[in-house]
């Protein structure tokens, strides 16, 4: 049985549990449960603080972990990245009081920077030849300049609204982060087999994201032009209709280009266009 460490609360917890649920891994959880076993898949979920997950996986207490890339890089633990999951995206940035002019990285020389990520910040400053004092804080880093504890901050930024409310401005993006599936480097062959099945399910869910299944009626004399417009996974499915001169075309479209392509299809005479969501896609 695989053991996977997951953040116990927050946005990453919610998105992780949604991914596991869409992968048909059934879990019954309560707020005080630390370890939960799936009822239909050989996996158990260990709920932890996010900053404990890298060490838990590296030492083999858990076989897998889903953790923010920022925490994984910060902790410098000896585990491997198995898959980038594409959710819980954010960035780690340097920010300073918004009323001050920012001439460049040289501004931080001799300044005190408050952060919960001293390792990432120290490496960045060293790489860029900046000599600043790092003040480690756990908690609300963004209030530090306002109360005179630091000159600037280095912290996670998502929408930037927290910076604005504390009269700060983002001046340097140091790294971008997303959720990672990490793994212990010494998993047994049996556990690797279970991992392969887990990845198969996750890939089917992730591949289906932002995809739509599209069915339409198309005039046969425009079929080649319509097929040329469709950027489907492979050649679209074409079936004859009872009405002479018409056929049914089935394909998959990326939602980002959906309206652009639908407009072209209508211009070529496609009718009765039906759009359906896709839960899973196996390629």
* CATH at 118: 3.40.190.10
**Residue whose structure tokens are 């996750």:** 202
Predicted local confidence at residue 61, as pLDDT: 97
Distance separating alpha carbons of residues 94 and 75, to the nearest angstrom: 19
In a domain, 243, yes or no: yes
CA 88 from centroid of its chain's CA atoms:
5
Residues 264 and 238 in one domain: yes
Residues 82 and 191 in one domain: yes
What's the Cα-to-Cα distance from 246 to each of 179, 241, 251, 263, 267, rounded to whole Å?
47, 6, 16, 19, 16
Residues 77 and 95 in one domain: no
Prediction pTM value: 0.86
Neighbours of 282 (CB within 10 A): 9
In a domain, 48, yes or no: yes
Predicted local confidence at residue 14, as pLDDT: 94
In a domain, 149, yes or no: yes
Residues 215 and 203 in one domain: no
Residues 95 and 148 in one domain: yes
Q: How many domains does the chain have?
A: 3
pLDDT (tens place) for every residue of the chain, 283 residues total:
999 999 999 999 999 999 999 999 999 866 667 999 999 999 999 999 999 999 999 999 999 999 999 999 999 999 999 999 999 999 999 999 999 999 999 999 999 999 999 999 999 999 999 999 999 998 889 999 999 999 999 999 988 899 999 999 999 999 999 999 999 999 999 999 999 999 999 999 998 888 889 999 999 999 999 988 887 556 789 999 999 999 999 999 888 888 889 899 999 999 999 999 888 888 7
Residues 173 and 95 in one domain: yes
| 117 φ/ψ sector (left φ>0, alpha ψ -120 to 50, else beta) | beta
Residue 35, domain extent: 2-87+178-208
Burial 196-223 (b: 16+ CB within 10 A, else e): eebeebbbbbbbbeebbebbbbbbeeeb
In a domain, 283, yes or no: no
Distance separating alpha carbons of residues 227 and 252, to the nearest angstrom: 12
Residues 66 and 183 in one domain: yes
Q: Check if the beta carbon of residue 137 is closer than 8 Å to that of residue 153.
A: no
* CATH at 222: 3.30.70.120
């Amino acid at each position: 049985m695989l053991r996977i460490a997951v953040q116990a609360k927050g946005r990453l917890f919610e998105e992780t549990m949604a991914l596991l649920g869409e992968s048909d891994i059934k879990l019954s959880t309560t707020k005080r449960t630390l370890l939960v076993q799936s009822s239909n898949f050989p996996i158990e979920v260990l709920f932890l603080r996010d900053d404990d997950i890298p060490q838990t996986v590296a030492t083999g207490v858990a076989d897998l972990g889903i953790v923010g890339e920022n925490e994984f890089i910060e902790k410098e633990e000896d585990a491997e990245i198995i898959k980038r999951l594409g959710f819980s995206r954010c960035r780690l940035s340097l920010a300073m009081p918004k009323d001050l002019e920012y001439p460049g990285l040289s501004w931080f020389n001799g300044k005190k920077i408050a952060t919960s990520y001293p390792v990432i910040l120290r490496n960045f400053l060293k790489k860029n030849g900046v000599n600043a004092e790092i003040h480690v804080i756990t908690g609300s880093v963004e209030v530090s300049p306002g109360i005179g504890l630091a000159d600037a901050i280095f912290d996670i930024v998502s929408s930037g609204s927290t910076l604005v409310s504390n009269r700060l401005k983002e001046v340097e993006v140091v790294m971008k982060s997303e959720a990672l599936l990490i793994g212990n480097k010494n998993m047994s062959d049996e556990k690797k087999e279970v991992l392969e099945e887990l990845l198969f399910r996750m890939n089917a869910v992730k591949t289906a994201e932002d995809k739509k299944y599209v069915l339409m009626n198309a005039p046969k004399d425009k079929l080649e032009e319509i097929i040329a417009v469709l950027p489907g996974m492979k050649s679209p499915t074409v079936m004859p209709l009872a009405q002479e001169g018409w056929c049914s075309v089935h394909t998959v479209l990326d939602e980002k280009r959906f309206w652009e392509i639908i407009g072209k299809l209508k211009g070529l005479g496609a009718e009765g266009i039906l759009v359906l969501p896709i839960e899973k896609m196996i390629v």
